[in-house]
Structure formats: structure tokens, C-alpha cells
């Protein structure tokens, strides 16, 4: 009788052990603390930027064949999506340099983060040299607007825009120039941008824009391989020198010749921004255009 009770107890104990081992384990650990999101001063605009880039990414990832319709609105030709393996992101081929013509870098950042202004730039350089990256290099920013350089009219689609905090009347700071040179070196290497394609907003839009103006250190940039500058020893331009054609071959829109001359002189002469060409101006133009 005793043995029977012992065996019964052992049997019941075994069942309890098995049942306990098979039952789901209860996690008695403390729940994770809620994540604290630190909102910086530009949290709202950064969130909008992320939303827009996510939307663009979803468009790029679509794999829908083109739909061809006939004049009656019916599908006329069958089509199919087959993904190619040979493609990449379009890269910028120009750099356009601007001055902000505003009171402070904070004002410029505010301008570029208000939707109603419809303007932006890829980079903004403050007076202390700090660089603000505001649009991904592979995205199109609204910085160039209407203009023409060579055969290019939609400059926004193929360029990077750099705004420098400057009112147009003051020299650019050493810190700004240092940061700009570092940035240009990185962009030139990353996207294989030719020396000829580092220009100013005034060059692309001479009818309406004066920036970065005659105080901008173009020679310093040219010495580093960003754009061209005239040689120290200038050959005298021939008497029959066609300066209008020379301006056009460099890239200027000569439909308004006076505006093109002023833009050229702001860039390459700098101590005179009139529409008159002196002999020295002609010599500089003759020298520069042969580099293009």
C-alpha cells in the first residue's frame, strides 16, 4: 500500500514537472522605457525632407511598364517591364556659386526651409566657414532659375548650387573661401566635374543676377583648378577680334550683349562692371576664350 502511494506521488510529480517545462515562459522583465525623441530646431523641416525623399524613392522603385494608348483611349500596343542592370543615378556636371544677398546665414536657412519661397541650394557656407548641406547632391534644388550657359537652359537639373553668406558689398571671409575650396575639391573628385563648369550665377543669368559679384576670388579658385583665369602676360587682341563670338564660345548668352559683357567683367576683370570693353578687357577676353 505504501509502495503504491509512493509510486502514485512520483507519477504525479513527473506530470507536474513535464507540464511546467512545456508551458510558455512568462517574461517578468521590466518593459522597455519609451524612446525619447529629441527635437532639434529644424525637426519639422527635416521631417518634411525625409517624407519627400521617401516619396521619391517609392517612385523610383516602381516597376510598371509604359502604357501605350491609341486615339480611342484603348490599349493599342502591349508593353512589359524588364529591369536593366546597367543604370545609375544622374550626377551633377556643373557647380553654380551664389551669394545670398541676405542679412545672415540664419535668414538664408529660414528662406530655404519655407515651402512658399520655392528656392533652395545644395550647400550654404556661413561667414565662419561652417557648411550647411541642405539638399542631397543627387537631388535637384531650385537655385539657378532662368538663364542660359552654352546650350544649357535647365541648369537646376545638372548642377549643384552653393550659396555663400554675403550681402554683395563685403569681401568674402577667409574661412568661407577655405571651406569653399575644400568643398569644391570634394565635389570635383566625386562627380568628375570639368574645370570649365565652375561658374557663377551671374554667368548663367546675366540679365537678372549679379552674384557672386566682382569681390568673389575667382583667381584663387582658378589656381586650384575650379574655373579659368587670364594669364599674367596678355597678348593684344587682334583688331578684327570678334568679342561677341568669343563671349558666346565661353558660354555666355549674348542675346543681351551688354548684360553678357557686364557678367564677363564681373567674373574676369572685376575692377570695372560697365558694358564698355577697354583694350585691356578685350585682351583678357581674347586670352580667356582660348582656354575654352
Positions marked catalytic = 163
Residue 132 main-chain phi, psi, to 5 deg: -105, 120
What distance in Å separates the CA atoms of residue 180 and residue 183, rounded to the nearest whole number? 5
Q: Three-state DSSP class for 267?
A: helix
Residue identified by cell 564681373 is 266
DSSP secondary structure code for residue 149 in this structure: B
All three cell numbers of 232, joined, read 599674367
22: buried, middle or exposed (CB in 10 Å: 19+, 13-18, 0-12)?
exposed
Residue identified by cell 508551458 is 23
Q: Smallest Cα–Cα separation from 269: which of 251, 253, 244, 287?
A: 287
What distance in Å separates the CA atoms of residue 280 and residue 277, rounded to the nearest whole number? 8
- Spell out where 1-128 has E strands: 68-69, 75-77, 94-99, 123-125
Amino acid at each position: 500500500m505504501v509502495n503504491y502511494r509512493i509510486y502514485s506521488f512520483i507519477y504525479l510529480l513527473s506530470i507536474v514537472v513535464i507540464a511546467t517545462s512545456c508551458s510558455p515562459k512568462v517574461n517578468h522583465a521590466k518593459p522597455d522605457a519609451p524612446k525619447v525623441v529629441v527635437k532639434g530646431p529644424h525637426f519639422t523641416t527635416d521631417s518634411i525632407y525625409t517624407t519627400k525623399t521617401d516619396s521619391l524613392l517609392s517612385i523610383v522603385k516602381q516597376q510598371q511598364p509604359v502604357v501605350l494608348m491609341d486615339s480611342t483611349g484603348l490599349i493599342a500596343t502591349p508593353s512589359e517591364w524588364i529591369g536593366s542592370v546597367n543604370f545609375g543615378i544622374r550626377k551633377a556636371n556643373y557647380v553654380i556659386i551664389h551669394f545670398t544677398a541676405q542679412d545672415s546665414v540664419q535668414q538664408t536657412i529660414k528662406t530655404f526651409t519655407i515651402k512658399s519661397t520655392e528656392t533652395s541650394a545644395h550647400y550654404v557656407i556661413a561667414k565662419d566657414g561652417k557648411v550647411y548641406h541642405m539638399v542631397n547632391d543627387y537631388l535637384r534644388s531650385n537655385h539657378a532659375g532662368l538663364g542660359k550657359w552654352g546650350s544649357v537652359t535647365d541648369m537646376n537639373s545638372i548642377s549643384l548650387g552653393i550659396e555663400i553668406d554675403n550681402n554683395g558689398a563685403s569681401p568674402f571671409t577667409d574661412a568661407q573661401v577655405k571651406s569653399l575650396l575644400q568643398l569644391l575639391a570634394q565635389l570635383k573628385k566625386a562627380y568628375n566635374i570639368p574645370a570649365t563648369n565652375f561658374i557663377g550665377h551671374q554667368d548663367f543669368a546675366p540679365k537678372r543676377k549679379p552674384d557672386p559679384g566682382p569681390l568673389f576670388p575667382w583667381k584663387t579658385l582658378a589656381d586650384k583648378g575650379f574655373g579659368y583665369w587670364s594669364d599674367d602676360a596678355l597678348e593684344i587682341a587682334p583688331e578684327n577680334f570678334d568679342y561677341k563670338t568669343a563671349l558666346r564660345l565661353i558660354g555666355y548668352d549674348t542675346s543681351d550683349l551688354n548684360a553678357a559683357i557686364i557678367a564677363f567683367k564681373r567674373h574676369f576683370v572685376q575692377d570695372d562692371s560697365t558694358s564698355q570693353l577697354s583694350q585691356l578687357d578685350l585682351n583678357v577676353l581674347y586670352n580667356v576664350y582660348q582656354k575654352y
